[in-house]
Structure 1
Amino acid sequence: MPCIGLVTARQPRRAAETLHTARVSNTRCMPLRYLARIAAHHDAGMRGAALTRTRDARLNTANRTAAGQRCRTRFPESAGAGLNCDEYPFAATNQDASVVPESSMSVRYILGEDNQKVGRRLGNFFCTAAHVLDGEQFWVKVVE
């Protein structure tokens, strides 16, 4: 199963923090401190649930809209110029804001430039590096 690595030292730190918040608050996922040690573990129970990619443009839009609404609701004073709502799981998955309960995901505002860097890396992973197909499962590995 494909696995994208998000390296917190090289990737925008705030995006990695969003992912960490979702993993800690979601019992199906492992806390960040354990991921580096067990990311290569072959026992799926030790890695938590896989994400599945969606190429459905309507679902992607619905996920981004729902995540944006959650950002505005949770952080009404934080919206500002140059900021984007960062969400985990990613909008391009079947596990994002429009399809899962609020307790199963995380949102926060981060610099738009940082959010877009991570988005480009995810797009490269889906389309070039791993060729993740619509509906295919993949893992996210955070390396500190």
Structure 2
Amino acid sequence: MSDLDALFEAARAIQARAYAPYSRFKVGAALATPDGRIFSGCNVENAAYPVGTCAEAGAISAMIAAGGDRIATIVVMGEGAHLVTPCGGCRQRIREFAAPDTIIHVAGPDGIRRSFTLEELLPHSFGPDNLIDR
């Protein structure tokens, strides 16, 4: 199994565990660190909508909790006819731990639908280097 296949399967498995009773829109995300560890997360809704958590945020939190600090690549899994790319907030969350050339794969149940660099999804981004290099 390739590294991308492993990420896809991790995103698919965690998507099934998403808690989405209100929107019924389940999302899973799996990321790999440069050392090959995989972390996953799913969306968790809340009756008070702004309090919910995106799948990407869950995967990033799992990575940080395990001592990781860099995203090498990520798969975001959604359903429906349209691409399920990370929301604006998650694009910024990914940017905190990824380089502009990090690949974000957007997947559906049948496989990877499209791949983007973070720069394509969040051009001219503001990141840690803006603050550290002052």
The normalised TM-score by structure 1 is 0.27
The TM-score with structure 2 as length reference comes to 0.29
The one of the two structures with greater contact order (alpha-carbon pairs below 8 A, sep at least 6) is: 1
